[in-house]
Structure formats: structure tokens, C-alpha cells
């Protein structure tokens, strides 16, 4: 059994994360979260139009995902209750495999880009989390897709597409896989899927 591939619903999420994840540098604490999202989208459009090879796009995406996203916090969230029961070695292997899997998923979706643009709206605050509201606009489609970016301490911690959390979706998929195959099985599947990445 393999981990479910990204659902049709999350395809736009992957594209939107790819649009934003290529921000030029780590945002400074106190920087405007809307600018983090806006600048990343502009940078991504440059990369998509540059003619970079798949390998170059993947390398750049990996570098900037680590700068713009809190992958460790995301990893702990998606592993849920299994994180506390994992050994330090399992945690290390899981985070490394998750990073590669996310990079591979986003890089593969670059090919689906067809002129979408990201319109950034207002930012609201929910405790320590800043929520950046935005829309993905697709040419010849009158219905934009609503995206909310959770930003904490200057890094993106979750992406919510039309009310569906990317972290919650991954947690549900991973938990179901672990129930049948164990944590080591999940890690091995993620590593197998991205072998050679």
C-alpha cells in the first residue's frame, strides 16, 4: 500500500505553496507576512519563466522551502501523536524524508502552471499566528480559489485551501498509513518515493 497521492483538491494547494515558497530569503522577524507571500509569488513567477531545468527548480525549491517554511514544526504537526513516541533517529529520518517528499511534490506540480496569479489580501491575527488571506486566480476561470497562509515567527506553518488545512490532510493520510504499516513503514515509503531526489 502506498501513501495516497495528493488529492485533486490539494493540487492547487501544492501550486500555491510552490508559488510562494521561492521567496528570495528568510523573512526577518517583524516583517509583513503579506509581503512574505507576495514577494515569494513574484519570485516563483520569475523561476517559472526562466527556463530552469527540473533539477535547478528542485534545488532552488529545497533551499527556499527551508528558508520560508517551518518544516520542523510542520513535520511535528503532521506526525501528530506519533512524534512523541518516535525515537530521535526516527524523528530525524522522518523530517529528512518529509522535506524530500514535499520538494518532490511541489517540483512535479511546476509543470501544471498555466498562468495562475496570486492576489494577496488582508492579514489578520489569531493569537501568535498571522493569517494572510489570498486568492489563486486562473485565466478563464471566474471562480478564484481561497488560500490562507498561517505565518508564525516569520515562517509559514500551514496553508489552508478553501478551508482545508494542508497539515491536517497530511496528518490524516500519514496516521492512516502508520496504523497499517507503522512509523518505520511510513518513513521507508517516503524515502522510497524520493530515492535519488
pLDDT at 69: 82
Domain interval for residue 122: 8-193
Q: What would the pLDDT profile of 52-72 be if each residue is shown by its tens digit?
A: 677 877 777 777 777 778 889
Q: What is the mean pLDDT of residues 30-40?
A: 74
Query: Residue 2 domain-assigned?
Result: no
Q: How many domains is the chain partitioned into structurally?
A: 1
Higher pLDDT, 48 or 90: 90
Q: Which residue has the cell 524523528?
A: 91
Residue 10 has pLDDT above 70, yes or no: no
Query: Residue 1 domain-assigned?
Result: no
Please say whether the beta carbons of 77 and 57 come within 8 A.
Answer: no
Strand partners, 161: 147, 164
Q: Name the residue among 19, 107, 10, 105 with its Cα closest to residue 58.
A: 107
The rounded percent of the chain whose pLDDT value lies above 70 is 73
Strongest mean pLDDT among 1-10, 98-107, 153-162: 153-162
Query: Residue 24 domain-assigned?
Result: yes
Dihedral of the CA atoms 11, 15, 21, 23 (nearest 10)? -170
Give the ranges where the chain is alpha helix by DSSP (H).
Answer: 8-21, 33-49, 54-68, 71-79, 82-85, 88-109, 166-193
- Reading the block at residue 190, the C-alpha cell is 517516503
CA 117 to chain centre: 17
CB burial of residue 135 (10 Å; 0-12, 13-18, 19+): middle
CA–CA separation, 55 vs 23, rounded Å?
18
pTM: 0.77
- Mean pLDDT, the chain, whole residue set: 79
Query: Residue 183 domain-assigned?
Result: yes
Query: Residue 3 domain-assigned?
Result: no
Which DSSP symbol is given to 53?
Answer: -
Residue 108 has pLDDT above 90, yes or no: no
Q: What would the pLDDT profile of 170-192 be if each residue is shown by its tens digit?
A: 999 999 999 999 999 999 999 99
- Tell me, what CATH number does 23's domain have? 3.10.450.710
Higher pLDDT, 77 or 113: 77
Question: What is the three-class DSSP state of 142?
Answer: coil
pLDDT at 22: 40
Which residues does 141 contact at the CB level (< 8 Å), separation at least 6?
A: none
Amino acid at each position: 500500500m502506498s501513501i495516497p497521492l495528493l488529492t485533486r483538491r490539494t493540487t492547487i494547494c501544492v501550486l500555491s505553496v510552490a508559488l510562494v515558497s521561492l521567496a528570495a530569503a528568510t523573512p526577518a522577524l517583524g516583517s509583513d507576512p503579506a509581503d512574505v507571500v507576495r514577494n515569494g509569488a513574484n519570485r516563483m513567477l520569475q523561476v517559472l519563466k526562466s527556463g530552469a531545468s527540473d533539477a535547478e527548480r528542485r534545488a532552488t525549491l529545497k533551499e527556499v522551502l527551508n528558508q520560508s517554511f517551518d518544516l520542523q514544526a510542520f513535520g511535528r504537526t503532521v506526525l501528530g501523536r506519533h512524534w512523541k513516541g518516535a525515537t530521535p533517529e526516527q524523528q530525524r529520518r522522518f523530517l529528512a524524508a518529509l522535506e524530500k517528499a514535499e520538494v518532490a511534490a511541489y517540483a512535479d506540480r511546476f509543470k501544471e502552471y498555466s498562468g495562475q496569479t496570486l492576489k494577496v489580501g488582508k492579514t489578520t491575527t489569531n493569537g501568535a499566528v498571522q493569517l494572510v488571506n489570498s486568492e489563486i486566480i486562473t485565466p478563464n476561470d471566474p471562480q478564484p480559489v481561497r488560500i490562507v497562509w498561517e505565518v508564525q515567527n516569520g515562517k509559514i506553518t500551514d496553508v489552508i485551501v478553501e478551508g482545508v488545512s494542508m497539515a491536517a490532510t497530511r496528518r490524516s493520510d500519514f496516521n492512516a498509513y502508520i496504523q497499517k504499516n507503522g512509523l518505520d513503514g511510513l518513513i521507508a515509503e517516503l524515502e522510497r518515493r524520493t530515492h535519488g531526489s
